[in-house]
Amino acid sequence: MNRSAIDLWVGIFVAIGFGAILFLALKVGNLLTLDRTPGYHLEASFDNIGGLKLRAPVKAAGVVVGRVEAVRLDPKIYDAVVTLRIDQHYEFTRDTIASINTSGLLGEVYIGLDAGGDPVMLKDGDRIRKTQSAVVIEKLISQFLFDKASSGAGGEAAAPGKSVEKPAGETKK
């Protein structure tokens, strides 16, 4: 094996090696998606964020428009404050509702944004006023069971139609 043939083979090897790293970075990983696109930050506070993780998607009508960038606990009112990074292309009205949803029963947890009709748009650093917390299935079940029990014990007093059940994901004002 003479020297120039070895050089050629090593060159090919190094080139396809770096090609593989590039493939892992761009095609498999998300090096160039959303992180580099210019964006702005919004905040939203929730009673309970459930299984929300960092970098979870923020979706509006099912389209990913941003990512969860930070989650912290407000030490005064014990609410979870979530910082969202939204793609610069998208603007949301001031009365947008942020809710924590799960895609499917076991799917990923994401934040859904439902825009309203307010003419004023949210700006960088604004806080989303209306939020809906994560639905905790255990709470739902226990509420359902207690409701059943109380309506069974109360007889006609609590009619089945007007249950006093409070929805878990109560809209905060």
Binding footprint of other proteins on the chain (CB under 8 A): 1, 3, 6-7, 9-10, 12-14, 16-18, 20-21, 23-25, 27-31, 33, 53-55, 57, 104, 106-108
The tokens for 133 are 């917390």
CA dihedral (42, 48, 50, 51) positive or negative: positive
The C-alpha atoms of residue 87 and residue 34 are separated, in whole angstroms, by 7
**Between residues 54 and 73, which has the closer beta carbon with respect to other proteins?**
54
- Residue (10 or 121) nearer to other proteins, CB: 10
Cβ nearer to other proteins, comparing 83 with 93: 83
Give which of 43, 50, 65, 25 is closest to 107, Cα–Cα.
50
User: Least separation, in Å, of the C-beta of 72 and other proteins?
Assistant: 14
Instruction: Provide the minimum distance between the beta carbon of 53 and other proteins in the complex, in angstroms, as a whole number.
Output: 5
From the list 60, 116, 67, the residue with the least C-alpha distance to 90 is 60
Residue 128 CB, nearest approach to other proteins (Å): 22
From the CB of 58, what's the least distance to other proteins, in Å? 13
